[in-house]
Amino acid sequence: MTQGEVKRLQKEFLIEFTYNSNAIEGNTLTLKETALVLEGLTIDQKPLKDHLEAVGHRDAFLYVLSLVEERVSLSEKVIKDIHSLVLMDRPEDRGVYRRIPVRIMGAYHEPPQPYLVPIQMEQLMKEQKKTKRHVIENAALFHLDFEGIHPFIDGNGRTGRLMLNLMLMQEDYPPINVKFTDRQRYYACFDSYYKNNDPTPMVTMIAEYLEERLRQYLTILV
């Protein structure tokens, strides 16, 4: 595979990942519109917020790629930096842990009170450093626990999926793209964990996405 082909595949993944991750959170840009926005175009009759979310997510993913290249370890600072790029449309909330209680509508779990967020995030990072779990299981559990803490007022889902990919890529796995069309299954993974303490559905979903990405690479290479 040539360098040009690799760059083309990376660009295609970035567009699809940005579209899907934002669409899960309610962004109205289509896949084609997302691609145009990332080329610098403005889509008529679409909110400025949706444009900024696309650009912010792209910049955050490029930042994640640089972290992988420079072998930077996951930390609270890294998480806040990723969130700051994701939430470029909300400057006052970027990289800042929430200061008010939140509820996730329809979820089996209530995120902790604001004063507990820094404590639980610190604990999550400590557990991450000493874990001996397989990378896929570890990334899945971190994602489930991070979203459960819901440390930011907005942008938790997008930030969480970016960190999930950071953890995978740091262990030489390809990044995955949780599809908007799979969102109900994705939500059910959280319900399974928060209701029954069972991370298996999320682990399985991530493993299946990884398998799909690896098959794509093999198809191209063969």
Q: Annotated catalytic residue: which of 51, 57, 143, 150?
A: 150
The question of whether 143 is a catalytic residue gets the answer no
Query: How many angstroms separate the CA atoms of 122 and 77, rounded?
Result: 11
For 85-111, give one letter per residue: b (16+ CB within 10 A) or e: bbbbbbeebbbebbeeebebeebebeb
Query: How many angstroms separate the CA atoms of 61 and 66, rounded?
Result: 9
3-state secondary structure 127-180: HHHHCCCCHHHHHHHHHHHHHHHCCCCCCHHHHHHHHHHHHHHHCCCCCCCCCH
* Nearest in space to 187 (alpha carbons), one of 15, 13, 25: 25
Query: How many angstroms separate the CA atoms of 159 and 187, rounded?
Result: 16
53 near 27, Cβ under 8 Å?
Answer: yes
Active site residues: 150
